[in-house]
Amino acid sequence: MFDAVELDDAVVMRLLAAGDGPALAEAYARNREHLAPWEPQRTPEFFTAAWHDRDVAGALARVQAGTTVPFVLEQGEEIVGRVNLSDVVRGVFENAHLGYWVDERLTGRGVATTAVGVVLHHARAAGLHRVQAGTLVHNTGSQRVLERNGFERFGLARRYLRIAGEWQDHVMYERLLDE
């Protein structure tokens, strides 16, 4: 299990919980413009508590299946970010994908870097061998977060994800946890 961890700027990192839907909707609405260049295009429904309630329920089901480990970042009563290990594969792979974002007010303050470090510690303790992440080619801030946490670039995935309405190339990173 994972105990909540206090990060920088009085931000607490904890596991996603039932009931987080309304606070997530508020966080995404507050950061709508900030996140738009880095995420898929969102429908108006995405910014509602009902949409996030359903998404949280789905994520918690994937936790039970062992394929996802979702975290939220909180500052006071507000959710101010997410960090997720997804697509967890066991057996001969022992791999997960990493994704994260922080509130616009907290960018450049080391919160994402610290949160990713905590998740890597959790992933290692859970027996994972490898964590990988992709960033848009021009997302140098996210690349710095990964590199500060020991990730190494291993390639370029052309037209990897549809972000901001367009298929975009991503720089691929990996972190081997048993080195």
Long-range Cβ contact pairs of 28-34 (< 8 A, separation 24 or more): 28/52, 30/103, 31/101, 31/103, 31/104, 34/103, 34/104, 34/107
Note the pLDDT of residue 55: 98
Per-domain boundaries in the chain: 5-176
| Three-class SS state of 32 | helix
Note the pLDDT of residue 1: 66
- In this model, does residue 170 exceed pLDDT 90? yes
- The overall pTM is greater than 0.75: yes
Given a contact cutoff of 8 angstroms between Cβ atoms, the answer to whether 145 and 136 are in contact is no
Note the pLDDT of residue 179: 79
Given a contact cutoff of 8 angstroms between Cβ atoms, the answer to whether 99 and 84 are in contact is yes
What are the Cα distances from residue 45, in Å, to 29, 53, 94? Answer: 11, 12, 35
Note the pLDDT of residue 8: 83
Q: What is the mean pLDDT of residues 121-149?
A: 97
pLDDT in tens, 56-67: 999 999 999 999
> CATH for 5-176, among 3.90.1150.10, 3.40.630.30, 3.40.50.300, 1.10.10.10?
3.40.630.30
**Phi, psi (degrees; rounded to nearest 5) at 150:** 85, 10
